[in-house]
Amino acid sequence: MKKITVIGTGYVGLVSGAGISDFGHHVTCADIIDSKIKMLQSGKIPIYEPGLSDLVERNVKAGRLAFTTDVDSAIQSSAVIFIAVGTPQGDNGEANISAVEAVAKSIGKNLNGYKVICTKSTVPIGTGDRVCKLVNESMPVDGEFDYVSNPEFLREGSAVKDFLWPDRVVIGATSEKAFDIMRDVYRPLYVNEKPMLHTNVATAEMIKYAANAFLALKISYINEVANLCEKVGADVHQVAKAMGQDGRISPKFLHPGPGYGGSCFPKDTHAIAALARKKGSPMNTIEAAIVTNQDQKKRMVDKMRNLIGGNFSGKTVGVLGLAFKPNTDDVRESASIEMIQAIMDEGGTVKAYDPIANESMEEFFPELSYCQSWEETCKQTDGVAIMTEWNEFRGLSLEKLKVMMNSPVILDTRNILSINKLIEFGFQFDNVGREKS
């Protein structure tokens, strides 16, 4: 079993570190945020991710998983070092890889013997060369390493399952030796015959961006189909269902909605588009998907404003769902941010509620009135916008809702409510690509 360090203990680093320890290795998760590491050391999980708490607890108890802020020691004592720090959107849409660069320098300084350095963060094509250069520049004479790009495909909300049972593992390795070491890291998956692709570094880096950008493109495509459905009296759900039954298309990522959000698709589409422009090989499809997504978020605001009488001023709107999707507390780039901002900017009042993500949204809107249930949120509102398809919103009682609101007005951006019921209870409503009131 190997000694492994994962640097960066966020959504990817924590899940990957815990998952790799579950494969039987000894893992240290390192981060520079002291409060985060203290929480983990005291048995608390800083993010919401189904199954993560059990996975962490089990491996900590078994003595295979530990947490530290002492990044230098963690590097020195490990054979494989994963880089899993953030790569947020930087200038001109390009990915900001400064955290990756800082970690590369730390690894170089602490390279006491041969190690495999493996980047799991999503990084622009060419970053592998940059990391190797920085390590080479800062390492002692007896330092030795191989570099690997091992992009991560987990989805927030099902990250543990995705990590432990991935569709494939991509390993862009600079040597056979490094590939063999990585295969050992992922041994249980290899034994279970999960596809393990050995590529060069640039190809592995490209696979991650190409996959994410394609999924974002698919979402923007179905959103545009939904918008056209509204104009021609077609039902987007039936259209998407029939499209998905075609094996060449697949039903995944054909759900219309308020526009994609989260910490990946928005920044990754910008990053690949920026890289493509820089290399003189523009990706017009992705550029268009980005614009469509921005427009879709604005369309939702327009829909809510229209429903409520053309003006948010003096109106109270209940926003149900703040996370960019269910089963996560991540609100980064969530469509609800655009909605809340517009209502507030135009003189309206927002009552907001998410089963898990209230606290995360407080960082964006500390002044907002946060509620603890959908009932509390919707009471005495002039309109309600469903922004995230949490299960508890699927089952909300329209009969109850109608009585508690000032007027029965609802925007269902996730198409989770029954149109028949909305009509039956006399709601004025809108959705994405379906029949209207």
**166 binds ligand NAD per the rule CB under 6 A:** no
Candidate residues 99, 104, 275, 387; the one interacting with ligand NAD per rule CB under 6 A: 99
Q: What is the CA radius of gyration of the chain?
A: 23
**148 binds ligand NAD per the rule CB under 6 A:** no
E strands, 193-311, where?
196-199
Dihedral sign (CA 338, 430, 262, 370): positive
- Start-to-end CA distance of the chain, whole Å, equals 61
Length, in residues, of the chain: 437
The contact pattern for ligand NAD, residues 257-296, with x = CB under 6 A and - = no contact, is: ------xx--------------------------------
**118 binds ligand NAD per the rule CB under 6 A:** no
Per annotation, catalytic residue among 132, 264, 371, 378: 264
Helix axes 98-109 and 127-138, enclosed angle (nearest 10): 30
Which of these ranges, 132-140, 150-158, 334-342, 425-433, lies near ligand NAD under the rule CB under 6 A? 150-158
Helix axes 265-278 and 284-307, enclosed angle (nearest 10): 140
Candidate residues 17, 86, 143, 383; the one interacting with ligand NAD per rule CB under 6 A: 86
Candidate residues 4, 6, 8, 270; the one interacting with ligand NAD per rule CB under 6 A: 8
Contact 429, 412 (CB under 8 A): yes
Candidate residues 146, 156, 354, 430; the one interacting with ligand NAD per rule CB under 6 A: 156
Catalytic site includes residue 229: no
Closest contact distance (angstroms) between CB of 120 and ligand NAD is 6
Residues in CB range of 58: below 8 A, 6 or more apart: 22
Closest contact distance (angstroms) between CB of 46 and ligand NAD is 8
**337 binds ligand NAD per the rule CB under 6 A:** no
Whichever of 218 and 434 has its CB closer to ligand NAD, that residue is: 218
Q: How far apart are CA 417 and CA 429, in angstroms?
A: 10
Site for ligand NAD in 35-64 (CB under 6 A): 36
Residues in CB range of 369: below 8 A, 6 or more apart: 349, 350, 351, 352
The residues that touch ligand NAD, with contacts defined as CB under 6 A, are 7-13, 30-33, 36, 71, 84-87, 99, 102-103, 121-122, 152, 154, 156, 263-264
